[in-house]
Chains A and B, each alone.
Chain A
Amino acid sequence: MKKVFLDSSIFFSACRSKSGGASNILMRCRKKEIQGYISTHVIFEIKKPTHLLSQKEKQRLNFLVLQFKLEIVQEPTVKEVKNATKYIKRKDAPILAAAIKSKVEYLITLDRRDFMKQTVKDYSKPTNHFKVLKSAKIYRSWI
C-alpha cells in the first residue's frame, strides 16, 4: 500500500470540492488503497482558520479528519524542523520534516510556490526517497 503525507491544502480543497484531486486522494485513503498520514501541525492549521470556511465546509472538514483512518505521525523534533529550514521556508518546515519522519513515498500538497521548489525536490528525492506531488497529478502516476 502506498504511503502519502497530506498537507493542509489537501483538506481545504477537499472541503470546497467533492470532485477534485484532493477528494480523490481522500477517497483512496478511505477505500484503503493508500495509507494517508498527517501531523498534529496539519490538524492545527486546518482547524485554526475557521473564518475561511462555511458551516457546511466545517462539517465536511470534521468528517474528513475524524471518519478517516489517517495516521497521525510522531511530531518532528526541533532539530529535524531546523534541518528542514535549509530547504524550505521556516513556516513550511514542520510539514516537510513530518513527511520525512513518516517515511512516506509521496508528500501531497497544492502549495506549488513553496513545496515544488527545486531545493525541496533535490532534498526529498535522493536523500529521503519521496516525491512532492500535486493531488490532481497523482492519478497520472498511479493509474
Chain B
Amino acid sequence: MKKIQKIKRNNIKLYKKIREKAGIKEGDVAKIKLQGKKIVIESQDELQYRTFTKKQIEQWVKDDELPPELAKKTEDYWKDLP
C-alpha cells in the first residue's frame, strides 16, 4: 500500500486505511524511528520481547537448585541430553 503526499509545515497525514492496518487509533501514542532515509511509525501495541542477561541466567540457575537426592535423580535422567 503506497500513498504519495506533499509534506506541509512538518506535518504528514496518516491515511485511515494504513493507520488502521498498523493498529494505530486516533489519539494513540506511536513510536517514530529514523532508519536511514526511512521514517518508521510503529504502533505501541507491538509486542515487546524481554531481553535477558548472563547475570540473570546465572541467578536463575542458583535459585533453581534442588535438594541433593532429587538433583541427582534429575541429572541421571538427562544422560541423553547433549
Contacts and interface: CB of A to CB of B under 8 A. Distances in A.
B5 to A, nearest CB: 28
Contact of B74 (A19, A48, A63, A111): A19
Interface in A1-35: 8-9, 12-13, 16-24, 27
Interface stretch (B10-18, B29-37, B42-50): B42-50
A27 B78 contact: yes
Nearest to A41: B47
Contacts of B57: 12-13, 16, 52
B71 interface: yes
Interface residues of B, number: 27
A52 B47 CA distance: 22
A78 B23 CA distance: 10
A36 interface: no
B60 A91 contact: no
Given A63-B82, A110-B64, A19 B52 contact: no
Interface of A: 8-9, 12-13, 16-24, 27, 41, 44-45, 48-49, 52, 56, 59-60, 63-64, 78, 81-82, 90-92, 94, 110-112, 134-136, 139
